[in-house]
Structure 1
Amino acid sequence: MNDVTPQPPRRVLIVEDSAVLRHLLMRVVTGDPRLELVEAVETAEEALRLVPRLRPDVISMDICLPGMDGLEATRQIMAHFPTPIVIVSDTVGAQATQVSMNALRSGALSVIEKPQGLSGAAGAAVAQGIATQLYIMSQVPVIRRRLMQAEPFRHKGMWTRPLDIRPRILALAASTGGPTAFARVLGDLPADFALPVVLVQHMGQPFMEGFAAWLDQHVALPVMLAQHGMQLERGRVLVAPGNRHMTVGPRGDVLLHDDAVVQGQRPSADVLFSSVARVFGADSLGVLLTGMGEDGVAGLGRIRGAGGYTIVEDRSTAVIHGMPGAAERAGAACISLPVHEITPHILRIVAGGQIPSEGPLAG
């Protein structure tokens, strides 16, 4: 006898001014038994009026809307009626990408590409992908604008144990919630930061160039998409391009390749972290930020196993604690810190300062 109570479908509000796209998205939602369409509207103003009454589980949000745009709508919703928001965006035009990235920083959970059609096998795959993204994000607990201006974290341990590593590279990875976390962590690094930086962000290929450009505008360090054979440089951030794995090579270069997906991802944090551990060993510094799934856990464990130092984002600030939480459970993390305390800790490490003698995951 099966006592599992069936879960009710997740309630979706669609905000899209194009009638054609609005009906495509309505077909996606109504065609998936996991979802229920509660309303589809053309403007942000209509959405703001309906959200407190309909209380949707997730919102599909267009960016370029008449009147109030999707960015301001996201800010308003997250400030007053926190609801998971998925940005459904054009991939053409720098302005659309810029606004999409700022919407992620304002509290939206993810950005996906607008469908061009739903016919045939390719269209069915697109519909399935959009529906799955809405379903997954509908279950993410959100709070009023998850804040980047948090009070300094008061660590329970004492900063008394001398540091015994001298890192030569900083490798980071994130998935859902990553753009905001990266903007905070990298934005707090000084322009003369002494290490090369490499990172993986799980995001659709069409958005990666815009993501790198957006991040470049928000941090002091230069940020760019990695190209095959590029040399690692101190104080420069190289971002893995969409749909390609990135590794570091023994000659201080980055290598891109099209090997099979790992943990469902390409680029994969596991692939990047594992190469960092292999090449830099005990001189590695790895950071795993917010995201769902387990990508990065094994690779972070290899960095720690090689004698490097590993940091994961604490559940108190992670939008989704899946990846960092899995790393904690696997013993891959030296320490878990809220996002606003990660960079101060990195700077102490790079300066040869002190690390906690006790406290969460220390040692």
Structure 2
Amino acid sequence: MPDLFTTAISGNLLHGALGLEHGAHGVLPHRLPRAAWMQADQQLVMAQAQPSGVRLALRTAATVVELDAHRTTMAYRGVAPRPDGCYDLLVDGELAGQVISTGGTAEIVDIATGERETRTGPLTTVRFAGLPKRKKRVEIWLPHYERIEMVALRTDAPVEPVQPGERPVWLHHGSSISQGSNATSPTAIWPALAAAHGKVELVNLGFSGSAMLDPFVARTMRDLPADLISIKIGINLVNGDVMRLRAFGPAVHGFLDTIREGHPSKPLLIISPILCPIHEDTPGPGAPDFTDGVMRFRATGDPAEVPAGKLTLRTIRQELAEIVRQRSAEDPHLHYLDGRALYGEADATELPLPDRLHPDTATHRLMSERFGALAFNSGAPFAT
């Protein structure tokens, strides 16, 4: 076996990460800058440290690539754990290998008491061999719902970073559905598939449970370089029951105003929620339902409170469409996409949401195909 080169893992090798932290085991990528996640709650801090859309991007003639990594996962006692994460290898944009994530630290939470048990295991070595012996673009996409600390990168030929600017940058913000929810691998989530369709560089600010119109997220988006911008708004506002209709409109306007300070004329696409039957006409809060040992969700709000301002997905779609209609008179690069065009009533019959909230891998692919046609094809808002 030939000697392997060890390359220090630094920001210039990572795409989709906005900051790096040196953790107990290795280099931990963050999807928000420190100043932003320091203002966030525990849920968002956790979600932004799960590297959805983050990938090592290299130019190399290497035929062997190894990555030592240590993961942290979370599970609930008495509930079947999520499947192990997956590392995806792309060679010149094509999927060329997958390795299941193993080992690491598992945090087990007791739903009833909140007590937390930590089980620590070894790091794992992710190895890809048999790569073409030529100069190529190699990407290792990290598991999208596990916290990953990268310990060491080894190859059998030198590597150099893929320089920014080769493709347009698509900056996207959304909920757990944008983070990847129940998709089985990091390149099978709908934003990653759509980015491949559009031949763009994805920066994924999809945060599980945390698309809340937070001002620090808007400021982050304002300050990042981007050619195309999208915001998928709604589901977390409803299932978190975080505001009433009176606050929603001004919050959306403020979020858009902040982004436009840094990107006054870039294409900006507002996407309303995909169909979610439990919250179409029933407000939040949403709650987990573990009655049969499987994670599902239910809506606990009272539809009778909707006239008083409680939010539902139907209400949010109406308000977003009106906000974009108003603003687009002076902002011709602002666009609206009804999320039900990505996943609607007919789809819910053929591809029901397994946990009543999140799409599975097949639905992520369906959403990506439709988004590609509606956003990236000729004449669409993101046509490049």
TM-score after normalising by structure 2: 0.28
Which one has more relative contact order, counting CA pairs under 8 Å at least 6 apart?
2
Q: Which has the higher strand share?
A: 2
TM-score after normalising by structure 1: 0.29
